[in-house]
């Protein structure tokens, strides 16, 4: 009697692993998807009004969470590091605006008025918060300084950015007014203050649930982008944009980012900051916040082609994520300092 044996099934060949990691992250794909949805199914009428209310509440919630996470002691400690904070402030609100105005003036013949306005508006925005801190942490830099610097930059930006818009874009359709400043304060600064007041009660819980802030941060941006691009589709402003203009804006964004990165790196080294402080300066002083920028654009440029004005900011956002990720990995590979 023979025993029937079964031979083992041959193992399926495993798919080869990619030798590189795609530079576009999932959030950028979500942004692209949001723009496509807005192009196919833009919000109209009552739907657009409802979207406006939901977006307003989402942004207010985001700044409430920022306020609840940041301790007053951290704010004070960050302010006391005046050399670092001063350099980041100068890079964010002096160097970049000069750079943005010069680039917009030189390339104005090849740019539409809205894109030219968008480049200048991009240059006067405050720094990012979450990505600046994340990249500083990856690069083994001064994380507390980055936290304070990015947060202070956003608080100052609530007032400084509208003032710079009034100064630099008064002849380009900038919609600054005292009522606009009031609206920005109500949507951004007031929720931040309420978050600070509620911090003793909810601060620990919010810090322990960091994904909540990340979800609200990214979700609010997707809502804002959908609303802005829906409005652009309904108004037909996208018919004014050519592929040549889109490519030129991307090149100018990359130029502005590269110059900002070089200046912050060289100046911090010339002033003999520690490597950890240099990392915080580079990441906080060379980046621009989409979380603050798009809500401000909706207020400051109400009635204009906001979707085109914020287009340079959206492209810059992707460029800064890719560039800073590479720079952070390079910083992280440096040797640990030897103990004396």
Over residues 138-180, the pLDDT tens digits come to 788 887 788 778 878 877 888 888 889 888 886 554 544 566 5
Under 8 Å CB-to-CB from 267, ≥6 apart: which residues?
87, 91
CB 224 within 8 A of CB 216: no
Distance of CA 57 to the CA centre of its chain: 19
What pLDDT, on the 0 to 100 scale, is given for residue 237?
Answer: 60
Q: Which CATH architecture has domain 45-332?
A: Up-down Bundle (1.20)
Mean pLDDT on 311-333: 83
What pLDDT, on the 0 to 100 scale, is given for residue 318?
Answer: 73
What pLDDT, on the 0 to 100 scale, is given for residue 1?
Answer: 44
**270 vs 332 pLDDT, higher one:** 270
CA distances from 280 to 17, 104, 157, 274, 318 (A): 34, 28, 18, 10, 20
- Residues 116 and 107: their CA atoms lie apart, in Å, by 8
What pLDDT, on the 0 to 100 scale, is given for residue 278?
Answer: 92
Mean pLDDT on 70-99: 83
Q: Quick one: how many helices (H) and strands (E) in the chain?
A: 16, 0
- Residues 93 and 159: their CA atoms lie apart, in Å, by 11
pTM beyond 0.75: no
Domain boundaries of the chain, sorted by first residue:
45-332
Q: Is the pLDDT of residue 84 over 80?
A: yes
The H or E element that residue 123 is part of is helix 113-123
Q: Decide: helix, strand or coil at residue 336.
A: coil
């Amino acid at each position: 009697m023979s025993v029937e044996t079964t031979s083992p099934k041959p193992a399926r060949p495993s798919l080869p692993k990619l030798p590189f990691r795609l530079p576009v992250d999932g959030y950028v794909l979500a942004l692209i998807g949001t723009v496509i949805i807005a192009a196919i199914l833009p919000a109209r009428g009552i739907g657009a009004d409802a979207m406006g209310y939901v977006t307003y509440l989402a942004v207010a919630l985001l700044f409430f969470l920022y306020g609840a996470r940041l301790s007053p002691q951290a704010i004070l400690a960050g302010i006391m590091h005046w050399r670092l904070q001063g350099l980041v402030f100068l890079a964010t609100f002096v160097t970049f605006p000069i750079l943005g105005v010069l680039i917009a003036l030189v390339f104005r013949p090849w740019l539409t008025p809205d894109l030219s306005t968008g480049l200048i508006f991009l240059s006067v925005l405050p720094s990012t918060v979450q990505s600046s801190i994340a990249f500083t942490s990856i690069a083994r830099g001064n994380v507390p300084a980055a936290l304070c610097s990015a947060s202070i930059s956003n608080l100052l930006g609530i007032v400084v950015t509208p003032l710079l818009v009034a100064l630099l874009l008064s002849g380009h359709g900038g919609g600054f007014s005292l009522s606009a400043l009031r609206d920005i304060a109500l949507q951004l600064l007031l929720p931040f203050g309420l978050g600070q007041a509620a911090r003793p009660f909810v601060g620990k819980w919010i810090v322990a649930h960091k994904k909540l802030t990340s979800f609200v941060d990214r979700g609010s941006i997707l809502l804002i982008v959908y609303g802005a691009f829906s409005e652009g589709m309904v108004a037909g402003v996208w018919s004014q944009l050519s592929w040549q203009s889109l490519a030129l804006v991307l090149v100018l964004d990359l130029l502005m980012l590269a110059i900002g990165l070089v200046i912050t790196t060289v100046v911090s080294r010339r002033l003999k900051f520690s490597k950890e402080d240099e990392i915080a300066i580079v990441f906080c002083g060379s980046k621009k916040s989409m979380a603050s920028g798009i809500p401000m654009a909706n207020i400051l440029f109400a009635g204009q082609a906001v979707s085109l004005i914020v287009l340079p900011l959206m492209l810059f956002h992707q460029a800064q994520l890719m560039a800073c990720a590479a720079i952070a990995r390079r910083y992280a590979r440096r040797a640990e300092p030897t103990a004396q």
